[in-house]
Amino acid sequence: MVAAYFQGPEFKTGGLDGEERLLRARLELNRGLWNATPIGCSSPAPLRDQQWWELSNNAALFRDHSGRKPTLGHAPGTIWRWGDESFRPDARNQQIGRIVSQIARHDKTTASDLPEGIEAAIRTYPDAVPVETPKARKRRPTSGRLRPDLSLMALFADWQAVMQPSLRTAHEYEGGLRLSFGGHTAARYQRGRLELAEAGDEIVEKHVRKRVYGSGQGLHCGSEA
């Protein structure tokens, strides 16, 4: 049943096939387990069960999803191979439970009705299949100039999510940032095209931790979005 989920055809027309479902699962395992480390706080956060299911049945949505980016450069599935001592107690079982839920949906049943031993099968399956190195992104043509506005606006979004300022404060701060870069950021932001540079997640995490919580404390980061 586990192999059928990760090797079979798409569940619905236009959805992910088994190979893509395995990639989706490995990305989620990476994010979920990274958040279970003492300093982990992935951005974007792990998906909720319903969000995961929706992406699994919409390949176009998945391929444009920001969560396709490896967690801090770790290839999909590699964090799964870290020792249990790297994570909070029972963290691996919690991630296995997330996959159980997806397989149950795929088989049109409930998790409680799946055969005994499925958790053990899921635990061994990621290690039995080689971890693929993520394909390099195609670089977009650039004008040769750096675009610090993109990273700055992405940082602003993370700051807003953590601090939850008043609407007025957020608008004033965002407006000031956009004016600083001549309005170019606003146009790209509205198109949903903002991206951090490589290792941007780590930069944001360190910056927000230092500015908001002090350098001696970590961020509080939930296991799912």
The pLDDT tens digits of the residues spanning 105-164 come to 999 999 999 999 999 999 989 878 776 544 444 444 444 444 554 556 666 666 666 666
pLDDT of residue 105: 94
Would you state the pLDDT for residue 156? 64
Pairwise pLDDT comparison (204 vs 25), residue with the higher score? 25
Residue 208: pLDDT band (50, 70, 90) is: very low
| Residues 20 and 62: beta-carbon distance below 8 Å | yes
pLDDT score for 178: 64
Q: Which residue has the higher pLDDT, 52 or 138?
A: 52
Label each residue of the chain as H, E or C.
CHHHHHHCCCCCCCCCCHHHHHHHHHHHHHHHHHCCCCCCCCCCCCCCHHHHHHHHCCHHHHHCCHHHCCHHHCCCCCHHHCCHHHCCCCHHHHHHHHHHHHHHHHCCCCHHHCCCCHHHHHHHHHHHCCCCCCCCCCCCCCCCCCCHHHHHHHHHHHHHHHHCCCHHHHHHHHHHHHHHCCCHHHHHHHCCCCCCCCCHHHHHHHHHHHHHHCCCCCCCCCCCC
pLDDT digits (tens, 9 = 90+) for 4-51: 999 999 988 899 999 899 999 999 999 999 999 998 888 888 899 999
